[in-house]
Structure 1
Amino acid sequence: MRLTDTSDLWWKTAIFYNLDVKTFLDWNDDGIGDFQGVAHRLDHLAELGVTCLWLAPFYTSPRRDNGYDISDYYGVDSRYGHFGDFIELVRTAKDRGMRVIVDLVVNHTSDQHPWFQAARNDRTSRFREFYQWRDDEPAEQPQNLFPDVEDGVWFWDDVAGQYYRHTFYRHQPDLATDTQVVRDEIAKVIGFWLQLGIDGFRVDAVPYLIDTEDGAEHEYLRAIRRFVSRRNGTGVLLGEVNLPYDEQLKFFGDADGDELTMQFDFVANQRLYLALARGDAAPLTEALLARPALARGNQWGNFVRNHDELTLDQLSESERAEVFEAFAPEEGQRIHGRGIVRRLPPMLDGDPRHIRMVYSLLFSLPGSPVLYYGEEIGMGEEPSITRSRAAVRTAMQWSPDANGGFSNAAAEALVPVVVSGGNSPEHVNVSQQRHDPTSLLSFIKRLTTAYRGAPEIGWGTFAVLDQPHTSVLAHSIESELGLFVAAHNFAPDGRSFTLAIDGAGDDWLVVDMLSDDPAPRPLADAQLSVDLGGYGYQWWRVVRPGEKRLL
């Protein structure tokens, strides 16, 4: 494959950054982040190396579920600004070399959406068929996605005189996405935002897109993919599909990958935390080896943390208990019986070696890295917010000033701010770290630079390399673009070993990509001598004779 063949598949080597406008920067000092605030911090993201900005829902909403309860798909929340501000944000991002994707949340609407209000008030309304109704609650029904909050998926509505279905919260009635009339409306929504210049969508809760067991969701995903491709030939669909690999693979589509373009790798993410809890790389290694092969245009999205709870639902009960004991020993740090409401640095007791090893691993795995805002500086959660996703949805920490430089508003008007101990803005902020070459922010910038200089990470073939330590994951990624090798130690004490590079000759060179002295050196005896400290990590580029690579 030649680079000229890959220009339309930008997501294969993209660096994604997810933020919520509400918590990023408050430009007008009303206590809530806004589009202008994000626009004024795009240079920070450009310097960080971000190539695609993913905006969490900013649509008109009662915000009972962090904006995922949408009451107008064609509107923007007035607290964040107006459409002119949004368009300026997209334009400015593109000026900085960043694409922009937004959330597509079409499993359900808010119960305040005009469609639902019309449907519940008039059985003859054309919007009645937009939702799912029945006269009697079924004796058997699937478990709600929030079993500690909702006791089923059907809720009686006095106004409508019927039960309506809600897979999520009761204030989020499910759309009847199996009907053509609803699909036509969704197509209009997709076309509207593409016309405004966005580059695709992060698709929410894909397995619940249609409530059938006959594969109809795949037919619908193919239709969405075709529509996006017609409107924007390089548009991406990044899907949230938290399922085992064999089931997840189906949502990529056929052999040509004609459904979702990308999917988050929830399996590897959950096995990563089991590996961290054990100090043993084996759980993650097993997951990576079990990854199914993808079509050329598809990609995995790798992540350490996201905006929801750290879900552990694909681990066994005993494995989940291990992770809870290691990283969420208090009940208030857990939610829904399956997840953790903490960020990574506090879970690792703030150990900079451990934290950096995890992010080095993130950028070295085959696929595209996805960062959640604040990860680049090691933000923690606010521990006083218990049993709630809001604990990891606090204001971005820009400076050591009041409210972390997020806003000058009075405390009672603010979104949540971290105020506890060593995670507060006084200790963790962008301003101090951007001037410190030893900071986590500087380290993440080094990783993004190295990742962008090694396209084989996004394109190549993954292999685990033999070495004697279960605490170590050593792997290679090879393509016609080059050969990349990395090693990561999950143990607190050091490990030494050699790695054989098959087929290498004495005229091959090796470059230590994260070293302060990256001068090429001969690859003696086709082997790499590796000496990892506790929670150590290393990246190498192995250069074949005649390769035209920047070293």
Structure 2
Amino acid sequence: MQTKQWWKESVVFQIYPRSFNDSNGDGIGDIKGITEKLDYLKELGIDVVWLSPVYDSPNDDNGYDIRHYQQIMDEFGSMEDFDELLEEMHKRDLKLVMDLVVNHTSDEHPWFAESRSSKENSKRDYYIWKEGKNGEEPTNWESSFSGSTWQYDKNTGEYYLHLFSKKQPDLNWENSELREDVYEMMRWWLDKGVDGFRMDVINFISKDQRFPDGEKKPGVKYASGSPYFMNGPRIHEFLHEMNNKVLQYYDVMTVGEMPGVSVEEAKLYTGEDRKELNMVFHFEHMGLGDGPGGKWDNQPWKLTDMKKIMTKWQKGLEQKGWNSLYWNNHDQPRVVSRFGNDKEYREKSAKMLATCLHMMKGTPYIYQGEEIGMTNVAFPSIEDYEDIETLNWYNEQREEFDTDPDKLMQSIYARGRDNARTPVQWDASENAGFTDGTPWLAVNPNYKQINAEQALQDPNSIFYYYQKLIQLRKQEEIVVYGDYELLFEEDEDIFAYTRTLGKETLLVVCNFTDKKVKRDYIPSFVGENKELLIANDEGRSENDDLLSVWLNPYEAFVYKFS
């Protein structure tokens, strides 16, 4: 039996500060802007805010390239602003989880300045340096942002490793002094009062020290090196040490972002007896619709595939470990555009998707704007985009393969990261109430129809539906701790499952299509005491006979039987 913990019973709201709320008119969201909106978050009912990086950074990868771990980026404000935010959050019983980015730093971090200065420098081994091989890079690995993972540095005649941008050199976790410096920095933030960490690509920190070449596909220059740095040889040792030296002394929440993690690995990362992390972010469901060419090769996806993935994780971590539940974040397209219907059934499908996720076992994460049904954006020109991954991919496709720009734009509209990064739509005034200045990234043109002010005035809005889902998690222990069972495994239209705790059962039914469908339910539910907990269709009632049910397009409902 799993123990009860506050972070299992919480709902998390992710803030991407650059796009949340601008308090000073420079077009960039900031910390004071977040403080201004805390009452809005409190009204929604969330418990924890995960704040994407606000540290000092040259901003090559929107703050995920950190120049100083204990300073605040000028654009976001000052450390005084941060302290005020933390105090105001704690006053409202809200917890703050910081982003911890320790796989890499910025190439402008003082450690890297020292490391590249000479081979003899005491910080040389804080990063991963290698000699070239036959006049080329040390390995054939491809960076997550295109090109090689190695950058030649003429100062010392060696290459440094960067799994992401060349301005994001990877830290060398084999070096125990580096690890101690990281732990000291973590203690500094925890002593300040932050309530935990979301750890960026934390399962990349242990590299296979042989640094072998990856297997190359025909006709391409670089190969995936992921078998040699994802879930690497010493990863559990490092995370256990981090827990032992830092985390165990604080009552905090930890979640590790872990591309390529399996259920079996996740049990090791999150098992309570293992003393590593509380939960992980996996990306299997984020790969739905990926074609042979990866995410940019966007294809139709199948509901049975989604159910298979979600169920595998629900069952896999049921007794050992813990799930994080999310549909979107700062790196993913908007859920209502991706898995719902952002046109005719935007509100209905947004509520259905929320129901499907929030009734599962795990800690739910809401990404800013999701609670009002913000959608993907289709800017007219590549010039309107800011994301480094998107721009690098577009330029590479144009230069190397002469791909049709219209085709590339369609991929970006579907899967680009800037879909999630357009400013939050607060009201129908200019720039959606996000800023008095010129926003750093254009606002989605649909802000006059979709905004928070309007949502707060409509009792049937997506906002209040999320609020109710969050309240149910607080009222009904079964939502947090009940066991999950999938129904209708092969059904391509309906995602239905039960949750069971003691003598109570929840029946959760979600129609993922824009058509009316009829389904026969399981007779064992019929005739018992039942209560309708939540539904996104006004026609649904307590007294409905569940032996045979018509579901409207994108309808969702939850009954409790006791």
Q: Report the TM-score, using the length of structure 1 for normalisation.
A: 0.82
Query: What residue identity is the alignment partner of 1:208?
Result: F
> Measured at CA, do residues 202 and 441 of structure 1 come closer, stay the same or move farther in structure 2, by a change above 3 Å?
same
Q: Of the candidates 312, 336, 341, which is equivalent to residue 348 of structure 1? A: 341
Paired residue for 1:15?
11
The CA deviation at 1:396 is: 1.3
Q: What is the aligned-residue identity percentage?
A: 27
Paired residue for 2:431?
403
| Separation in 1, partners of 2:204, 2:554 | 39
> Measured at CA, do residues 107 and 447 of structure 1 come closer, stay the same or move farther in structure 2, by a change above 3 Å?
same
Query: What residue identity is the alignment partner of 1:299?
Result: W
Paired residue for 2:78?
82
Q: Does 2:524 align with 1:532?
A: no
Q: Does 2:240 align with 1:222?
A: yes
Give the conservation status (yes or no) of the 8 Å contact 2:130–2:159: yes
> Measured at CA, do residues 120 and 265 of structure 1 come closer, stay the same or move farther in structure 2, by a change above 3 Å?
closer
Paired residue for 1:102?
98
Aligned pairs for 1:308-327 (under 5 A) are 308=331, 310=332
Give the conservation status (yes or no) of the 8 Å contact 2:198–2:257: yes
Q: Does 2:27 align with 1:31?
A: yes
Query: What residue identity is the alignment partner of 1:89?
Result: L
The CA deviation at 1:542 is: 1.4
Query: What residue identity is the alignment partner of 1:194?
Result: L
| Separation in 1, partners of 2:371, 2:26 | 26
Paired residue for 1:307?
330
Paired residue for 2:365?
370
> Measured at CA, do residues 510 and 249 of structure 1 come closer, stay the same or move farther in structure 2, by a change above 3 Å?
same
Paired residue for 1:141?
139
> Measured at CA, do residues 480 and 142 of structure 1 come closer, stay the same or move farther in structure 2, by a change above 3 Å?
farther
Query: What residue identity is the alignment partner of 2:236?
Result: H
Give the conservation status (yes or no) of the 8 Å contact 2:102–2:202: no
Aligned pairs for 1:103-502 (under 5 A) are 103-137=99-133, 141=139, 143-146=141-144, 149-212=145-208, 215-232=233-250, 234-243=251-260, 245-246=262-263, 248-249=265-266, 251-252=268-269, 256-271=273-288, 281-291=303-313, 293-294=316-317, 298-308=321-331, 310=332, 344-345=336-337, 348-350=341-343, 351-352=345-346, 353-384=348-379, 385-386=384-385, 387=390, 389-409=417-437, 411=438, 414-420=439-445, 423=446, 425-466=447-488, 469-480=491-502, 482-500=504-522, 502=524
> Measured at CA, do residues 467 and 34 of structure 1 come closer, stay the same or move farther in structure 2, by a change above 3 Å?
closer
Give the conservation status (yes or no) of the 8 Å contact 1:18–1:53: yes
| Separation in 1, partners of 2:263, 2:435 | 46
Query: What residue identity is the alignment partner of 1:281?
Result: L
> Measured at CA, do residues 273 and 164 of structure 1 come closer, stay the same or move farther in structure 2, by a change above 3 Å?
closer
SS, match of residue 305 in structure 2: helix
The CA deviation at 1:510 is: 0.9
| Separation in 2, partners of 1:139, 1:489 | 51
Give the conservation status (yes or no) of the 8 Å contact 1:488–1:538: yes
Query: What residue identity is the alignment partner of 2:552?
Result: G
Give the conservation status (yes or no) of the 8 Å contact 1:144–1:168: no
Query: What residue identity is the alignment partner of 1:177?
Result: W
| Separation in 1, partners of 2:15, 2:304 | 32
Structure 2: which 5+ runs fail to align?
209-227, 292-297, 392-416
| Separation in 1, partners of 2:87, 2:548 | 48
Q: Deviations over 1:397-421 (max 9, x none)?
A: 1111111111112x2xx3213253x
Moved more, 360-369 or 283-292: 283-292
SS, match of residue 182 in structure 1: helix
> Measured at CA, do residues 299 and 440 of structure 1 come closer, stay the same or move farther in structure 2, by a change above 3 Å?
same
Paired residue for 1:336?
none
Q: Report the TM-score, using the length of structure 2 for normalisation.
A: 0.80
| Separation in 2, partners of 1:243, 1:456 | 30
Paired residue for 1:332?
none
The CA deviation at 1:469 is: 4.3
Query: What residue identity is the alignment partner of 2:327?
Result: V
Paired residue for 1:331?
none
Paired residue for 2:221?
none
Q: Deviations over 1:88-136 (max 9, x none)?
A: 2112112222211011100111000011111212332211111111222
Query: What residue identity is the alignment partner of 1:450?
Result: L
Structure 1: which 5+ runs fail to align?
311-340, 544-551
Query: What residue identity is the alignment partner of 2:255?
Result: L
| Separation in 2, partners of 1:152, 1:481 | 57
Give the conservation status (yes or no) of the 8 Å contact 1:465–1:499: no
| Separation in 1, partners of 2:182, 2:490 | 53
Give the conservation status (yes or no) of the 8 Å contact 1:16–1:371: yes
SS, match of residue 299 in structure 1: coil
Give the conservation status (yes or no) of the 8 Å contact 1:269–1:303: no
| Separation in 1, partners of 2:328, 2:248 | 33
| Separation in 1, partners of 2:520, 2:335 | 34
| Separation in 2, partners of 1:499, 1:272 | 30
Give the conservation status (yes or no) of the 8 Å contact 2:326–2:357: yes
The CA deviation at 1:160 is: 3.2
- Between Structure 1 and Structure 2, how many residues are aligned? 493
The CA deviation at 1:296 is: 5.4
Moved more, 344-353 or 47-56: 344-353
| Separation in 2, partners of 1:269, 1:462 | 21
Q: Deviations over 1:439-483 (max 9, x none)?
A: 222222222223333332322211013488441121111124842
Query: What residue identity is the alignment partner of 2:281?
Result: F
| Separation in 2, partners of 1:538, 1:254 | 32
The CA deviation at 1:141 is: 2.3
Give the conservation status (yes or no) of the 8 Å contact 2:267–2:320: no
> Measured at CA, do residues 468 and 106 of structure 1 come closer, stay the same or move farther in structure 2, by a change above 3 Å?
closer
| Separation in 1, partners of 2:183, 2:284 | 31
| Separation in 1, partners of 2:16, 2:353 | 23
Give the conservation status (yes or no) of the 8 Å contact 1:69–1:109: yes
Q: Deviations over 1:245-280 (max 9, x none)?
A: 346425525573432211124223444999x98685
The CA deviation at 1:519 is: 8.5
Q: Deviations over 1:363-406 (max 9, x none)?
A: 12221211111111122344224535334212211111111111
Give the conservation status (yes or no) of the 8 Å contact 1:154–1:164: yes
